[in-house]
Amino acid sequence: MKAMLLDKIAPIDTAPLRWAAEVPAPTPGPGEVRVKVRCCAVCRTDLHVVEGDLPPVKSPVIPGHQIVGVVDELGAGCRRLSLGARVGVAWLRHTCGVCRFCASGRENLCERSQYTGYHADGGYAEYAVAPEDFAYELGDETLTDAEIAPLLCAGIIGHRALKRCGLRPGGRLGLFGFGSSAHLVLQIARHRGHEVYVVSRGERHRRLAMQAGAAWCGADAGEMPERLDAAIVFAPSGAVVPTALSALDSGGTAVLAGIHMTAIPSLDYQTHLFRERDVHPVTANTRQDGCEFLAEAAAAGIRPRTVSYPLSEANHALQDLKAGRVEGTAVLVVGA
């Protein structure tokens, strides 16, 4: 099969992903399915894997964890999915199922969790293997493959971040950084009746946010016309955290949604935390999060903005992501 391989971590500007035309296609083991990949959305987490912000655990590795395709082979013991089923494969691919976190509905905190495109090969390829229990059956035929792919991480993580906000009805939400996940959260938040305020340095991102229904967009949070009930920091910069906390009203919550973030500067207790301002990080997601979000996205008519690239242009797509040139989500189309 054809695939994009990461042999060694390096800056994305050096185009470290290697096009390989003769990689052996994977075979599903017991309880696994093989997916013929149609497309795979590009995520900032892929960039963290490529550039080594996340410590390497498999080399070489095929990145990619927002996979849409069809089941073309079943491993022994598979019962839920059938051949030809349209499925999605996301970041979380394995948990132990027995630890105190798994037993209490918090499998995202399982210390033996494993992830697609990181511990095991992902979707920057023509075929991928995933545990049947961690594949989502995709029944929403109103979205194209490319449109549904961003829901599988950007959407699911955004959903968990929104859940961690604890927003009351009509609450004001701030989004700091406006990439793939934020543009989906904005649509869900608007559907729920929240006012959304967006802080982004990118003019094209601010324009997209306004088109999606933001109440206000700007490059400087200090110009925001209202205090926030909650804020989600999507930007992977710790320097944004004090800014987000300063924008909160009393009793507000700042949620940190990234899997990686640069160092957070010192916080002033009186300015940033006093009056019961909370900080809630997000760690991955549960499968329940995924099911909840996919159902709500279908009910709300969420339509991601996507930009398509052929699989062989994965380096280019990640370069554009890092440089802020992607409006919405970059999606690698397999076979293009």
Q: Is the same domain home to 16 and 73?
A: yes
Neighbouring CB atoms inside 10 A of 253's CB total 21
Q: Is the same domain home to 137 and 245?
A: no
Q: Is the same domain home to 100 and 63?
A: yes
Q: Is the same domain home to 42 and 80?
A: yes
Within a domain: 290: no
CA dihedral 264, 265, 267, 273 (to 10 degrees): -30
Kindly report the pTM of this predicted structure. Answer: 0.94
CATH number at residue 78: 3.90.180.10
Within a domain: 210: yes
CATH number at residue 167: 3.40.50.720
Angle between helices 180-191 and 203-211 (to 10 degrees): 20
Blockwise average pLDDT, block size 10, the chain, 336 residues: 97 98 96 98 97 96 98 97 97 98 97 98 98 92 92 97 96 96 96 97 93 96 96 96 97 96 95 96 97 94 95 98 94 87
> Between vectors from CA 89 to CA 85 and to CA 94, what angle results, nearest 5°?
120
Task: Report the alpha-carbon distance of residue 107 to residue 89 in Å, rounded.
Answer: 17
Q: Is the same domain home to 217 and 328?
A: no
Q: Is the same domain home to 200 and 89?
A: no
> Between vectors from CA 159 to CA 99 and to CA 315, what angle results, nearest 5°?
95
Give whole-number Cα distances, 184 to 175, 209, 293, 300, in Å: 11, 10, 11, 11
Q: Is the same domain home to 118 and 214?
A: no
Q: Is the same domain home to 176 and 128?
A: no
> What confidence tens digit (pLDDT) does each residue in 14-37 have?
999 999 999 999 999 999 999 999
Q: What is the pLDDT of residue 336?
A: 58
Q: Is the same domain home to 173 and 221?
A: yes
Domain of residue 139 covers 3-143+304-333
Within a domain: 288: no
Q: Is the same domain home to 319 and 221?
A: no
Within a domain: 289: no
Spatial contact of 146 and 333, defined as CB atoms under 8 Å apart? yes
Task: Report the alpha-carbon distance of residue 213 to residue 331 in Å, rounded.
Answer: 23
What type of residue sits at position 132? E
Q: What is the pLDDT of residue 93?
A: 98
Give the number of domains in the chain: 2
Q: Is the same domain home to 10 and 69?
A: yes
Q: Is the same domain home to 103 and 171?
A: no
- In the structure encoding, which two tokens stand for residue 295, read together? 């159902």
